[in-house]
A and B are shown apart, each in its own frame.
Chain A
Amino acid sequence: MSSVARFWRKIPQRYNLAGTQCTTCGRYFFPPRYLCPDCRRAGKIRQHRFSGLGKVVTYTVIRSASEQFEQMTPYVLAIVELDEGPRLTAQLVCSPDEVRIGMRVRPVFRRISADGESGVIHYGTKFAPDTP
């Protein structure tokens, strides 16, 4: 379906949560942005690797998915807010009964999907409940 390069160039972000920060205003970005929406051209951007610790903002349980994900249903999908501020969409590695709004999570490296007939397996970051 999509080329290997399309996935490969995002590996640092998908595997290691590599994002950016605008040092002019302090705001963090994940996925990375190279133009700060607040400071625009005045913003100075640097790389930032996120710890991946955060909390669940909202969630759903996907029961009906597109082909690449059909085998994994049902799975928990959430918007996670990282402790530095940015939010991202990700799967949670937990049962549908376990997920709660505000639940603390930590990142885990997992298989995301298999790309149709080409058989390319995509890896990336999911999140698991962070029980102290």
Chain B
Amino acid sequence: MRDVAVIGIGCTPFGEKWGSSFRDLFVQAGTMALEDAGVAGEEIGAMYVGNMSAGRFIEQEHVGALIADYAGLASDHIASTRVEAACASGGLSFRQAFIAVASGIEDIVVAAGVEKMTDVGTGASVDALAGAADREWEGFVGATFPGLYAMIATDYMNRYPLTREQLAEVAVKNHYNGARNPIAQFSQEITIETVLSSSLVADPLRLFDCSPITDGAAAVVLAPLERAREYTDTPVRVLASAQASDTIALHDRRDISTLDATVAAGKRAYAMAGLSPGDIDLVEVHDCFTIAEICAIEDLGFCRKGEAGRLTAEGVTALGGDLPVNTSGGLKACGHPVGATGIKQVCEVVQQLRGEAGRRQVDGARVGMTHNVGGTGATVAVHILGV
């Protein structure tokens, strides 16, 4: 297996992009990534694109070929593949690109993610997102996606010390970070009161516990490490790539409040990199809901079960804390275009490791992690990057 590096990144601003189509978003992110890498289109051997539901959101399937075409690569006939695992589509796209380069089959590979969610109404997008869980045995009886995470929160708060205020601190921190990220959907800071006075969506979760509906695209370029310096002075090495699965339905899990797939993918990633949680300088976790960030911090081994709420309230996971979590603003404040999120996480970590994160820079960051979840934890991808 060859060592692999990220040599270029590109990410569109996230938000409700009424003026941009699915194709526009992808072309914008892809062009930025190729320019950043100094790679010409004809050098690309393969492309992977994470996308959850173009079929439901824009009534378009076969987006692998579509994207290669509009990236101007149709005449090069490159291998272009769509990867789908609900909200983890981007993380799996990155992993497929990593495997392609590490195996020696391809040299220069693009990993991308894109989702155009606002071309349908809120009801239709909520319904499409419910397809990330078990349609027949969760969605059919009236389980919404926030409702499933709310049941995790109820179980968690019944078993571990976590206050409603501590849960709100997750959103407050991520909005603070998002306000320092030029691509973030939300640029305003919020207070605990903002969260606690927002409307209930599914008890105990309120509107400001939930990530928004977002349009956006992100792309990164991977190359063999031995060739990376032909393109960039700041290659970022992929130290580990791991993926795990679990039951599709939340009710079939061994433990409602522990994402076993996060635990498994995390352990595999630490083993592959030869690192432990104490070696990680920053982490982008999948905070589709505030409770999801609490579980992720624990399930990735950064603290014991039941401690993440207190650590969040103490500022340990804030910028300037011992373990900054979601410096991008996370899904909560940066936005969550589902297929693009896993790639955006990689873009954020690469920016941090290059020292290019501006007002949200983590001083001296050398090792970063990404954690991307599909559904309520049926798929998890974990990557570790380092310089």
Taking the complex as formed, is A103 at the interface, i.e. its CB lies under 8 A from any CB of chain B? no
User: Interface size class for chain A?
Assistant: 20 to 34
Taking the complex as formed, is A51 at the interface, i.e. its CB lies under 8 A from any CB of chain B? no
Task: Report which of A10, A87, A101, A113 forms a contact with B142, defined as CB distance below 8 A.
Answer: A113
A-B contacts, CB under 8 A, total: 93
Q: CB distance B200 to A79 under 8 Å?
A: no
Q: Please indicate the chain A residues that have their CB under 8 angstroms from the CB of B168 in the complex.
A: none
For the residues of B in contact with A, the DSSP-based class is: helix
Q: CB distance B147 to A77 under 8 Å?
A: yes
CB contact under 8 A between A62 and B147, given known A31-B137, A113-B142, A124-B141: yes
Taking the complex as formed, is A88 at the interface, i.e. its CB lies under 8 A from any CB of chain B? yes
For the residues of A in contact with B, the DSSP-based class is: strand
Q: Please indicate the chain B residues that have their CB under 8 angstroms from the CB of A113 in the complex.
A: 140, 142
Q: Please indicate the chain A residues that have their CB under 8 angstroms from the CB of B130 in the complex.
A: 66
- Report how far A101 CA is from B154 CA in the complex, Å: 9
- Report how far A122 CA is from B70 CA in the complex, Å: 43
- Report how far A57 CA is from B249 CA in the complex, Å: 14
Taking the complex as formed, is B271 at the interface, i.e. its CB lies under 8 A from any CB of chain A? no
Q: Please indicate the chain B residues that have their CB under 8 angstroms from the CB of A15 in the complex.
A: none
CB contact list, A42-83 vs B, under 8 A: 57-67, 69-70, 72, 75, 77-79
Taking the complex as formed, is B42 at the interface, i.e. its CB lies under 8 A from any CB of chain A? no
Taking the complex as formed, is A90 at the interface, i.e. its CB lies under 8 A from any CB of chain B? yes
- Which A residues are closer than 8 A to B by beta carbons? 10, 31, 57-67, 69-70, 72, 75, 77-79, 87-91, 96, 101, 112-113, 122, 124, 126
- Which B residues are closer than 8 A to A by beta carbons? 123, 126-127, 130, 136-144, 146-147, 150-155, 158, 199-205, 249-252, 256
Given contacts A60-B203, A62-B144, 8 further A-B contacts (CB under 8 A): A10-B136, A58-B151, A58-B152, A62-B142, A65-B144, A70-B123, A88-B251, A124-B140
